Structure 1
Amino acid sequence: MDLREYLRIFRRNSLLIVAVTLAGLLAGGTYSILTKPTYTAETQLFVAIQSSGSVQELQQGNTFSQARVQSYVKTVSSPVVLQPAIDALGLAVTPQELATRVKATTDANTVLITIAVEDGSSVQAAATAQAVAESLIKAVDTLEKPKTGGTSPVSLSVITPATAPTSPSAPNTKINLILGLLVGLTVGAAISLLRSTLDTRIRGEADVRRVSDAPLLGGISFDPLATRNPLLTQAAAQSPRAESFRQLRTNLQFANVTGHAKSVLVSSSLPGEGKSTTATNLAIALAQAGKSVCLIDADLRRPMVHEYLGLDRNAGLTTALVGAADVNDLLQPWGEDNLHVLTSGQIPPNPSELLGSDDMRNLIESLEEAFDSIVIDAPPLLPVTDAAVLSRHVGGVVLVIGSQKISQQDLEKSLSALDLVGANLLGVVLNRLPVKGPDAYSYSYYSNDQGSDYQGESLSSNPSDTPKVRRSRDNSREEATHTYRSPSKFPLGHN
């Protein structure tokens, strides 16, 4: 993955990263509050050689002192030094326990020894540091005293007495907060990367590109109102949702630049991705461009087009396929544009056989002669074979992909199913995209003062004349109220 992909993952999981980072910050603050304050008192000693000889003797003595200082530093934590300090202060600890709170250090090439003592009381820390320093002076004097008698050649003296600190040395609230912030940020980023690796759902164009190079015909943002008002005509003329379908229409025309795909099948991988609303609104958008359009509801298992458009579905596609009525008598006009709808009809027991039959192919061919564009709403590809079978009879296929609805594996299976039957995939449509964020599908468009839309070309390079079908339209109303009474003897079972 490149840097942009990492940034997309982090933006996609921004809430998770912020939450974990705040949790780390809270943990650092909580630790600082619950930790008992500790005070550190320091005292400093100077090591000297007791000599009043020549300059050469003084230099030799200084070298001797520096060599001995490291030994004195290690002696500080020994019972020889700590036990007298414990006895002097009356502490109820052992030398080993006190050694964990006493630290002696020295700088290189110096004869200075620093003794630091930690304690829960600032006064006790200062007193302990002073007692340890005095005990070290006495211990060194005893250890360095010649066995033949006389005074010790080494002299230690306190140059910085221990004082009670005014503020605790631990906990360091600032450091704890910074560490908590960094740890939380690191953990949040790691969880985001792991989550992105394990989550194979399609979220945006980048995820689609990992599976296929099929053209992206358009992206439709998620609109919570679309459940109640799914149609293009129910949205404002220049709303983002309306413009996205017009953009889909235009991009589809460019994808079909050769003009062979006069009939377009719209399907998806799984139910619930929005294929029916996409097919319906695409047909409406094409009709608004001034072309004659026929919308066919070929989802013979869960038909939805008639519900969206308020039409009768008792007589429709299945009626024509079994020869119970002529297709011209079954087409229902809708709206004020040149849009006709062939609803599903009665649900048959053998949808795949009907959709893959020669009658279905002949029906599509006859409608292609009468209309400029044919839009077919087909069942999902993975649950049933209806769409794959039907795709052999149409000029092209548009695959609707619902954001966060399917996985990359499901998309691969759908594309393989279409490729297996030799379908002409015109492109994909990303549906239910987030309005904001790294997976949002943004676009820009232009309109004139009157708000007229771009009048694109037909899906066909050779558009037909007026469709030779029987029309019954009421131009005074937006939705047609035409209903068709089904024949009294319909050979298929009722739904």
Structure 2
Amino acid sequence: MALKKFKNQKGSSTTSRHLIADKLPKSPISEQYRTIRTNIQFSSVDQNLRSIMVTSSGPSEGKSTTASNMAVVFAQQGKKVLYIDADLRKPTAHYTFHQSNVTGLTTVLTRQSLLSETISTTRIENLDILTSGPIPPNPAELLSSKVLDDMLAAAYIQYDMVIFDTPPVLAVTDAQILANKCDGTLMVVASGATDKDSAQKAKELLHSAKAKLLGVVLNGKKKSDGALYYYYGGK
């Protein structure tokens, strides 16, 4: 099956982890995030899409930047959004949103804190965040637990959309575990950097996990010759 491609533009470390959809909502890059949002919504017209997992085949392909900015544009649409940092090995959301990470997803999953007490509000209207919490020794086991299913069910009561940032597919099994729990999966690949075989292998692993692959964000793709191109930083 051919992968659908939602193009995004090239990155720069100076803007790494910036929420450009919030800071520069009228920029061409922000418009691209809104285009991805629209494509996702059109791809799921027959399904009530409540949760999206954002992943990549390998590291440094822009998944965390994509996930956080997608959370912003869904919130800007008026949806009540919960952004969850489920990358329990290399979390970044607490930096991106300037939040404490003393408690988070891991403390909820180990029943050390309640979801309602652990979620943090952000300055962005309609957008709340659940940071990763302390890095655990057993991320895959936590993500496959019944507690996560119960937590997600509770989140659906309060939120229109839940967006997960997860580790790369080829690195660990975490993304495959979550893919089976989410309504849709978005995979990020980096133009000129992601190996074609790696992307194909990641796609196969997601399908074997019964993920609903909504599409692929092609990150770092330059505009055609003679046109301006824009860039943003990614993890």
TM-score, normalization by structure 2: 0.91
| Cα gap change, 1:302 to 1:228, in 2 (>3 Å) | closer
| Cα gap change, 1:388 to 1:224, in 2 (>3 Å) | same
Match of 2:58 in 1: 270
Matched, 1:322 2:104: no
Q: Secondary structure at the match of 1:295?
A: strand
Q: Pick one of 282, 303, 320 that aligns with 2:70.
A: 282
How many residues in Structure 1 have an aligned counterpart in Structure 2? 229
Distance, in Å, in 1 between the alignment partners of 2:187 and 2:39 is 14
Distance, in Å, in 2 between the alignment partners of 1:437 and 1:306 is 38
Residue 434 of structure 1: how far off its partner (Å): 1.6
Say if 1:364 and 1:394, in contact at 8 Å, map to a contact too: no
Distance, in Å, in 1 between the alignment partners of 2:213 and 2:16 is 31
Q: Pick one of 302, 314, 317 that aligns with 2:90.
A: 302
After TM superposition, where is structure 1 displaced by more than 3 Å over at least 4 residues in a row? 435-438
Say if 1:298 and 1:377, in contact at 8 Å, map to a contact too: yes
Give unpaired runs (5+ residues) of structure 1: 1-211, 443-495
Matched, 1:332 2:120: yes
Could you list the per-position Cα deviations for residues 165-200 of structure 1 after superposition, in whole angstroms to 9, with x for gaps in the alignment? xxxxxxxxxxxxxxxxxxxxxxxxxxxxxxxxxxxx
Say if 2:85 and 2:166, in contact at 8 Å, map to a contact too: yes
Distance, in Å, in 2 between the alignment partners of 1:378 and 1:225 is 21
Give unpaired runs (5+ residues) of structure 2: 231-235
Distance, in Å, in 1 between the alignment partners of 2:70 and 2:191 is 19
Q: Which has the higher contact order (CA 8 A, sep 6+)?
A: 2
Could you list the per-position Cα deviations for residues 283-303 of structure 1 after superposition, in whole angstroms to 9, with x for gaps in the alignment? 000001111000000000000
Matched, 1:380 2:168: yes
| Cα gap change, 1:394 to 1:325, in 2 (>3 Å) | same
Matched, 1:341 2:129: yes
Residue 235 of structure 1: how far off its partner (Å): 4.2
* Residue identity in the other structure for 2:123: G
Say if 1:219 and 1:441, in contact at 8 Å, map to a contact too: no
- Pairing of 1:171-186 with structure 2 (within 5 A): none
Matched, 1:213 2:2: yes
Could you list the per-position Cα deviations for residues 386-423 of structure 1 after superposition, in whole angstroms to 9, with x for gaps in the alignment? 00011111111001111112111001110110111111
TM-score, normalization by structure 1: 0.44
Distance, in Å, in 2 between the alignment partners of 1:271 and 1:421 is 20
Residue 369 of structure 1: how far off its partner (Å): 2.0
Identical amino acids, percent of aligned pairs: 36
Distance, in Å, in 2 between the alignment partners of 1:416 and 1:320 is 31
| Cα gap change, 1:225 to 1:382, in 2 (>3 Å) | closer
Q: Secondary structure at the match of 1:433?
A: coil
State the superposition RMSD in angstroms: 2.0
Distance, in Å, in 1 between the alignment partners of 2:26 and 2:124 is 19
Residue 433 of structure 1: how far off its partner (Å): 1.4
Instruction: Please say which structure displays the higher CA radius of gyration.
Output: 1
Say if 2:72 and 2:124, in contact at 8 Å, map to a contact too: no
Q: Secondary structure at the match of 1:380?
A: coil
- Pairing of 1:94-493 with structure 2 (within 5 A): 212-216=1-5, 218-224=6-12, 227-228=15-16, 230-233=18-21, 235-437=23-225
Residue 220 of structure 1: how far off its partner (Å): 1.1
Q: Secondary structure at the match of 2:218?
A: strand
Distance, in Å, in 2 between the alignment partners of 1:225 and 1:234 is 18
Distance, in Å, in 2 between the alignment partners of 1:441 and 1:368 is 38
Q: Flag the structure with higher helix content.
A: 1
Distance, in Å, in 2 between the alignment partners of 1:233 and 1:280 is 9
Residue 365 of structure 1: how far off its partner (Å): 1.8
Match of 1:475 in 2: none
Distance, in Å, in 2 between the alignment partners of 1:234 and 1:291 is 15
